Amino acid sequence: MSSQNLEDLISAGVDGRTVLVRSDLNVPLDNGTVTDDGRIRASLPVIRALSEAGARVIVMAHLGRPKGQPDPQYSLRPAADRLAEISDLTVRLAEDVTGSSAQALAGELQDGEVLLLENVRFDARETSKDESERATLADEMAALVGEGGAYVNDAFGAVHRKHASVYDIASRLPAYLGTLVATELDVLSKLTGEPERPYVVVLGGSKVSDKLAVIDNLIDRADTLLIGGGMLFTFLKAQGHDVGSSLLEEDQVEVVQDYLKRSAGGGARIVLPTDIVMASGFSADAEHEVLPVDALTTGAHGDSAMGLDIGPETAEAFSQEIREARTVFWNGPMGVFEFEAFSAGTRSVAQALTESRGLTVVGGGDSAAAVRTLGFEDSQFGHISTGGGASLEYLEGKTLPGVQALSSSEKDGA
């Protein structure tokens, strides 16, 4: 990665300068209360470093999908309050993105203070496919910092988006790579370069279609692929098993069969569950039982049964593979971990990662939410990614627009 980084910016001097920072504050809320502040805490080091160096910091971030217009339920107010609460920073929140409130507050900003712009997705131009619309918004964002300003992209969870605050703005100001993004790229590069072996990839989540590109890119890189979550039933169907009313992507069965053939032909060993927790329905208190995979429709609930977690035999087998690995990447829960009765598989995988002697990477999104919900600490894992979609796209071998823009801006002499 040749982009200039935060240390380059601070060493050049930021005292009295205004720095525009793209952070990832896309946190889950419950009635206006932040329920997982992991991304806020991960964003804090860069914001604090700039503040302590004397910069006037303007932070941009998004939350949810507000459809290009102001929507109170997606306001960044809870994130602003939480950021101020966990730090000793003065944090103010603008009422808009680049409008009169943002302009006025940016003009009043003092050295070391932090201004958070309102949700950038309240402006439809942020995500527009029309380059001219994004360009106009990027010009307005750049105007907020005035002469001598700079831009830092520290939002790994958004670098896979070609949005105004991620991509277009980087060509309008001297642009720098944030520490969080740099760390993410460094860790993920170890998963696609020369990882220590055995290299085990654990994939879960609801849909196999969401993971096809990752499987395609890693089946010849990893040693073992452990398959859980709702996506496992498409694999079991591809093997000829009945799956009851479990989540199934019928149109992906043929694709999965091809992966199984590639595995048998010398690719990564694909390990599938041998037992499943089958339930009478999708609810926290549904009746359930553990069945072997060759008897999923013969239990008490028959064809109406649906699998909501991997079984204990599978959980132990997966855990053993993880504990013996030297590199582990995990993306996607093993079951419906939000329901206590169906959380055991995900808990077992998380526990095994904490016991591994190798590099353990939790791939953001639902996986990160799961480990925190189940009571694990971030420090128990080698790395917890802040970007589920971005980390997957990196492992798929795709170019990340936000990172590409930083490299391009440097080549252009920004």
Instruction: Determine whether the annotation assigns residue 65 to a binding site.
Output: yes
Nearest to 183 by CA among 24, 346, 61: 24
Instruction: Determine whether the annotation assigns residue 254 to a binding site.
Output: no
Catalytic residue, candidates 68, 99, 382, 389: 389
Q: What are the angstrom distances between the C-alpha of 145 and each of 57, 76, 84, 135, 376?
A: 9, 20, 22, 16, 40
Instruction: Determine whether the annotation assigns residue 63 to a binding site.
Output: yes
Place of tokens 């060493």: 11
Catalytic residue, candidates 17, 22, 39, 56: 39
Instruction: Determine whether the annotation assigns residue 332 to a binding site.
Output: no
SS3 16: coil
Instruction: Determine whether the annotation assigns residue 323 to a binding site.
Output: no
Instruction: Determine whether the annotation assigns residue 121 to a binding site.
Output: yes
Instruction: Determine whether the annotation assigns residue 25 to a binding site.
Output: yes
Instruction: Determine whether the annotation assigns residue 366 to a binding site.
Output: yes
Instruction: Determine whether the annotation assigns residue 30 to a binding site.
Output: no
SS3 401: helix
Catalytic residue, candidates 77, 207, 221, 269: 207
Instruction: Determine whether the annotation assigns residue 364 to a binding site.
Output: yes
User: Degrees (nearest 5) of the Cα angle 179, 183, 185?
Assistant: 120
SS3 322: helix
Instruction: Determine whether the annotation assigns residue 262 to a binding site.
Output: no
How many residues can be counted in the chain?
414
- Residue 39 annotated among the catalytic residues of the structure: yes
CA distance 216 to 212: 6
Catalytic residue, candidates 230, 335, 365, 388: 365
- Residue 207 annotated among the catalytic residues of the structure: yes
- Residue 134 annotated among the catalytic residues of the structure: no
Instruction: Determine whether the annotation assigns residue 64 to a binding site.
Output: yes
How many other C-beta atoms lie within 10 A of the C-beta of residue 282?
13
**CA 20 remoteness from chain centre:** 22
Eight-class DSSP state of 122? G
Using an 8 Å Cβ cutoff, are 26 and 60 in contact?
A: no
Instruction: Determine whether the annotation assigns residue 161 to a binding site.
Output: yes
User: Degrees (nearest 5) of the Cα angle 337, 157, 69?
Assistant: 100
SS3 56: strand
- Residue 365 annotated among the catalytic residues of the structure: yes
Annotated binding site for (2R)-3-phosphoglycerate: 39, 121, 161
Annotated binding site for substrate: 24-26, 39, 62-65, 121, 161
Annotated binding site: 24-26, 39, 62-65, 121, 161, 211, 307, 338, 364-367
Annotated binding site for ATP: 211, 307, 338, 364-367
Catalytic positions: 39, 207, 365, 389
